Structure 1
Amino acid sequence: MKPTILVSWLDMDRLDRMLDSLPSAQAGARDALLDELGRASLAEPWEMPPNVVTMNSRVCFSFADSPQRVTMTLTYPKDMNGGAEQLSILTPVGTALLGLKVGDAISWERPDGGQFEVQVHGVEYQPEREGVYHR
């Protein structure tokens, strides 16, 4: 069973607009993100708990099959600049992380049909925690 996720209405609005503009070649990523957003609870940005992964959060996570922790920033595709520490929301890992809180783990389907499990260890930066809503 997937853990409950929490998304700010501001992120939801921005993600909806992004999804509306995606080319048909990204239908799989769009559908996966739409499914995930469909099960999200909504919160005011200023009421977002500080331990929840939101858009533009810098999150520390690991995969169940590896002890190595990874720290990346969850990013909109338009903001991707090729940085190694950026993670697009349209990737399976990015979609899986959105809305999780520290300590949560989720199993997710890989594009090849296999599964991976990802666990959140920390939210090093969260825009909402810093009062940054216009990003």
Structure 2
Amino acid sequence: MDAVNLGERTLTELDFGRLSQLREVQTSFQFSTLLDRADVVEPLLAPCDVVTMYAQVDLEDVATGRRHRFVLCYPGQTEPREGYISVLSPVGMALIGLRVGAVAQWHSPSGQPCKARVMAVSRIAQFSA
């Protein structure tokens, strides 16, 4: 299992609909569980501190205190050097739907457990492909 934080999640109806279409691509139990357990809300009712698609997320590594900044995007739009990471990556699945203050947990590609606290969330303009 890559992303291990399946706690309380909030998804907008738009994000939920688009992510549900990705079930054909991402067939993992954990991705399905994430979608099945999410609290789905209208976009205008989503709290501003929730990680949504195309949100810029500031993280602080729990172990080292190092800060990282990512923008959550869909597969095919990733630009790791620019900080755009796929929602289907382990860190992407660990972040989607979390709120500021929550701790995301996942495993790195080498299998190392990772933990980072969501420090800030801001909305950006949608990625243009």
Band the TM-score falls in, shorter-chain normalisation:
0.7 to 0.9
SS at match of 1:79: coil
Quote the offset at 1:51 in angstroms: 0.6
Which of 44, 50, 53 does residue 52 from structure 1 map onto?
50
Partner of residue 84, structure 1: 82
CA separation of 1:65 and 1:87: change in aligned 2, threshold 3 A: same
Does 2:12 match 1:14?
no
Offset, 1:81: 4.2
Measure how far apart 1:113 and its partner are.
Answer: 4.9
Shift of residue 64, structure 1, vs aligned partner? 1.5
- The two structures have a TM-score, normalised by structure 1, of 0.77
Gaps of 5+ in 1: none
Equivalent pairs counted in the alignment come to 123
CA distance in structure 2 between the aligned counterparts of 1:82 and 1:64, rounded to whole angstroms: 21
8 Å contact from structure 2 (residues 10, 97) kept in 1: yes
Q: Given residue 68 of structure 1, which amino acid in structure 2 is its aligned partner? A: R
Contact 1:59 1:124 in 2 (8 A): yes
Deviation at 1:94, TM superposition (A): 0.6
RMSD, matched Cα: 2.5
Q: How does 1:52-131 map to 2 (within 5 A)?
A: 52-81=50-79, 83-110=81-108, 113-125=111-123
AA of the residue aligned to 1:16: S
Identity in percent: 30
Q: Which amino acid aligns with 2:99?
A: K
Question: What residue identity is the alignment partner of 1:35?
Answer: T
- 1:80-122 deviations in whole A, cap 9, x for unaligned? 2454311111111110000011111133344555422121000
- Tell me if structure 2 keeps the 8 A contact 1:61–1:71: yes
Unaligned runs of 5+ in 2: none
* Residues in 2 aligned to 1:89 and 1:34: alpha-carbon distance in whole angstroms: 13
- TM-score with structure 2 setting the length: 0.80
Q: Which residue of structure 1 aligns with residue 31 of structure 2?
A: 33
CA separation of 1:8/1:126 partners in 2, compared to 1, >3 Å: closer, same or farther?
farther
